[in-house]
Each structure stands twice: as structure tokens, then as C-alpha cells.
């Protein structure tokens, strides 16, 4: 009952403050500039220098000359209420820069993501369509589409689904970090396996903020996909938002320790707890997940960083 109330309060507050939309649904999109907000989307390239370069989405091709063709490119998408300056973004960017083996791009659509939930949710298609056009133009200008990976958290994960549905090439890999759930039902448009050659999804708060169904080629459910260790507090709202954020924290850790999160194939966490899946296939969760992985995987994590338990995480400990 309390959990339901917390969810209602959190999103109810957003729904009653919906702004007057300037977003044009994509069944009538004819240009990237369907609104001032879409025009104001920014694309950043992070190099580790003090000055990082950003351009408006309509000038995305200007960044192609700054991309090292010898490295794969990752494009990260922040979640609702976030921006390129948010902790989640800076943590992911820092982890990639530490590896020094990727071109690191970040999409900042904070002018839209900062709106009330219903407005931001309804705008994901427009954002995705706009970015799809920009990526097509970047590929035409020389970006290697075969090494492009998209990674996104929450609402950003759902934006990636619309990109995959609209680009004129096939995205090699999409990683969805606890894709946003409210409004994205299993029968409606949402991030799904067909949006890229390989789609990996990590579920950490499937009860309220994230989707509660399998949607990728492979779906990982650390600690059952909700109520993450270390997130238990007297506040239901803090608990669910903390668990939601664990998805990007786990992924960031996997960038520095590729073997940190080992998971085992299992249809449910109940079976995992019972030890019924102990002889099943194991796969790595996170950055190093092979594109041959398929199905649902369970694992346990630690309550504090470092979160990964390696092989120990494939066996349930009460």
C-alpha cells in the first residue's frame, strides 16, 4: 500500500504540472526543428580535456572531425530531470575516459527531460526521431556506424528505442539501464530487441520506475530487478529512486572491471533463490556482455561499491 502511494505521489505530482506542449508527434515530423526545445538538444564530445565540445543537434556533423576513427563510439543518454552535468552522466563518462578506448558522446536533452513527467514521456518519440536524423547525417559525414553503441538510463533508454526504429542503418548495440516504465507498456512502443543488432537491458527497479518485463535480446535482473541492496531506507521514495540509479552505477563499474557482474540464466528470481538454475549458462552483465547472450539472467550484488561479486554473485545468499 505504501509503495503504491509513493509511486502515485511521485508521478502524480508530475502529471498535474504538465506544461503546454510545443512537441510535434512524429507521425507529422518533416524536419528536425519541430520545436524550439528539439532544436536546443545538444550533443557533447568528451575527451578528458578541460574544455569539452558541444553543438546543437542540427550541427551534429561538426563533431565528426573530432571523432577518432580508430576507436568505437559510445553515445550516452541521461534520464528524466537530468542533464549532461548530472552525476550519472559524469560517472559513466569518467569510466569510459579511464578506459581511453572510446569516443565518448553525450546527448543533453535536459530542456525536455526537465519538464513534468507526462510531457517528457510524450516527447521521447520526437527526441528519438530528431537524434536519428542527426546520426544519419553523421554517418553520411564519416562516422563509422558499425562501431556505434548507444547507452541510456531510464527515459534516455526509451529515447534510444525510437532512434533504433528511425535511423537508416542498424545500430550494433543498445544498452538500456533500467528503461523507464510508466507509460511504456509491453504492448506499446518501447525499447525492444528489434531496435538494434543486440539489445541488453539491466533491470534494477522494475516495481515502479522501470519496466517489469523482458524486452531485450538479453535481460539482466540483479537482485531480482528491484529493491537493490544498500537502498533500503525508511523512505519508500528514496528506496525506489536509489534502486533505479543502481543500473548506471553497475554499468559504470563494469567499464573498469569487466568480470565484476557474472549472472546465471534463470526464468525467475524465485528459481534463482531456490538454486534451481545452478547448472545453467553464465554470462557477464554490463559493458562486456557478448552479443550472443540471450534470455533472462539473475545475479546478486553487494550493497556498497564495489557492487560486483563475480562468480559468487551467481549463487543466492540469504
Residue 18: inside a domain: no
Q: How far is the C-alpha of 183 from the C-alpha of 188, rounded, in Å?
A: 9
Side by side, which strands form the sheet with 282-284?
53-56, 42-46, 103-108, 73-77, 148-153, 173-177, 198-202, 218-222, 295-299, 262-265, 282-284
Predicted pLDDT of residue 48: 80
Predicted pLDDT of residue 49: 76
Residue that is written with C-alpha cell 562468480 in the block = 311
Residue 49: inside a domain: yes
- Could you give the number of structural domains in the chain? 1
Q: How many CB atoms lie within 10 A of CB 146?
A: 12
Residue of 84, 86, 88, 154 marked active site: 154
Predicted pLDDT of residue 50: 65
- Provide the grid cell at 22: 510545443
Predicted pLDDT of residue 97: 97
Calculate mean pLDDT across residues 252-264: 99
Residue 122: inside a domain: yes
Q: What are phi and psi of 106, to 5 degrees?
A: -135, 130
pLDDT per residue over 76-99, tens digit each? 999 999 999 999 999 999 999 999
What's this model's pTM, rounded to 2 decimal places? 0.90
Closest CA to 153 of 102, 188, 202, 104: 202
Beta carbons of 226 and 204 less than 8 angstroms apart: yes
Question: Could you give the residue ranges of the DSSP H alpha helices within 216-298?
Answer: 236-256, 269-274
Q: Is 153 a catalytic residue?
A: no
Least confident segment among 22-31, 85-94, 103-112: 22-31
Its domain, for residue 136, covers: 33-228+244-314
Predicted pLDDT of residue 29: 41
Residue of 84, 86, 108, 178 marked active site: 178
% of the chain at pLDDT higher than 90 = 80
6 confidence band (pLDDT: 50, 70, 90):
very low
Higher pLDDT residue, 213 or 119?
Answer: 213
Calculate mean pLDDT across residues 2-11: 40
Residue 237: inside a domain: no
Residue 113: inside a domain: yes
pLDDT per residue over 112-145, tens digit each? 999 888 888 889 999 999 999 999 999 999 999 9
Residue 24: inside a domain: no
Predicted pLDDT of residue 52: 86
Calculate mean pLDDT across residues 146-171: 98
Q: How far is the C-alpha of 214 from the C-alpha of 231, rounded, in Å?
A: 23
Residue 279: inside a domain: yes
pLDDT per residue over 188-198, tens digit each? 779 999 999 99
Calculate mean pLDDT across residues 225-240: 90
Q: How far is the C-alpha of 131 from the C-alpha of 243, rounded, in Å?
A: 28
| 30, pLDDT greater than 60 | no
Average of per-residue pLDDT values in the chain: 90
Q: Could you tell me how far CA 128 lies from the centroid of its own chain?
A: 13
Q: Is 178 a catalytic residue?
A: yes
pLDDT per residue over 282-300, tens digit each? 999 999 999 999 999 999 9
Q: How many CB atoms lie within 10 A of CB 316?
A: 20
Predicted pLDDT of residue 13: 38
Least confident segment among 220-234, 271-285, 294-308: 220-234
| 25, pLDDT greater than 80 | no
- CATH number of 182's domain: 3.40.50.1820
Q: How far is the C-alpha of 187 from the C-alpha of 49, rounded, in Å?
A: 44
| 21, pLDDT greater than 60 | no
* First-residue to last-residue Cα distance in the chain: 25
Predicted pLDDT of residue 116: 86
Predicted pLDDT of residue 241: 96
Q: Is 257 a catalytic residue?
A: no
Residue 26: inside a domain: no
Q: How far is the C-alpha of 156 from the C-alpha of 153, rounded, in Å?
A: 5
Beta carbons of 158 and 124 less than 8 angstroms apart: yes
Predicted pLDDT of residue 20: 31
| 26, pLDDT greater than 80 | no
Q: What are phi and psi of 210, to 5 degrees?
A: -110, 170
% of the chain at pLDDT higher than 70 = 89
Predicted pLDDT of residue 10: 44
Q: How many CB atoms lie within 10 A of CB 100?
A: 8
Amino acid at each position: 500500500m505504501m509503495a503504491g502511494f509513493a509511486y502515485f505521489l511521485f508521478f502524480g505530482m508530475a502529471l498535474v504540472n504538465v506544461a503546454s506542449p510545443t512537441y510535434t508527434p512524429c507521425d507529422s515530423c518533416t524536419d528536425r526543428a519541430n520545436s524550439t526545445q528539439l532544436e536546443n538538444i545538444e550533443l557533447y564530445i568528451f575527451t578528458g580535456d578541460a574544455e569539452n565540445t558541444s553543438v546543437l543537434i542540427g550541427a551534429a556533423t561538426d563533431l565528426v572531425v573530432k571523432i577518432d576513427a580508430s576507436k568505437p563510439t559510445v553515445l550516452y543518454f541521461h534520464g528524466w530531470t537530468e542533464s549532461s552535468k548530472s552525476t550519472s552522466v559524469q560517472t559513466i563518462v569518467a569510466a569510459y575516459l579511464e578506459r581511453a578506448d572510446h569516443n565518448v558522446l553525450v546527448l543533453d536533452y535536459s530542456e525536455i527531460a526537465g519538464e513534468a513527467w507526462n510531457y517528457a514521456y510524450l516527447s521521447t518519440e520526437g527526441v528519438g526521431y530528431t537524434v536519428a536524423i542527426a546520426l544519419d547525417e553523421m554517418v553520411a559525414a564519416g562516422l563509422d556506424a558499425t562501431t556505434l553503441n548507444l547507452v541510456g538510463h531510464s527515459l534516455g533508454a526509451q529515447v534510444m528505442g525510437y532512434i533504433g526504429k528511425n535511423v537508416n542503418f542498424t545500430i550494433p548495440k543498445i544498452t538500456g539501464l533500467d528503461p523507464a516504465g510508466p507509460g511504456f507498456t509491453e504492448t506499446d512502443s518501447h525499447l525492444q530487441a528489434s531496435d538494434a543488432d543486440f539489445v541488453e537491458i539491466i533491470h534494477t527497479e522494475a516495481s515502479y520506475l522501470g519496466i517489469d518485463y523482458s524486452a531485450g535480446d538479453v535481460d539482466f535482473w540483479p537482485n531480482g530487478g528491484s529493491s537493490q541492496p544498500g537502498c533500503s531506507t525508511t523512505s519508500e521514495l528514496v528506496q525506489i529512486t536509489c534502486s533505479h540509479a543502481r543500473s548506471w552505477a553497475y554499468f559504470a563499474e563494469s567499464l573498469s572491471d569487466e568480470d565484476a557482474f557474472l549472472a546465471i540464466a534463470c526464468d525467475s528470481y524465485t528459481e534463482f533463490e531456490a538454486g534451481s538454475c545452478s547448472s545453467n549458462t553464465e554470462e557477464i552483465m554490463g559493458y562486456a556482455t557478448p552479443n550472443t547472450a540471450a534470455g533472462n539472467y539473475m545475479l546478486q550484488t553487494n550493497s556498497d561499491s564495489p557492487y560486483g561479486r563475480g562468480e559468487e554473485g551467481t549463487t543466492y545468499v540469504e
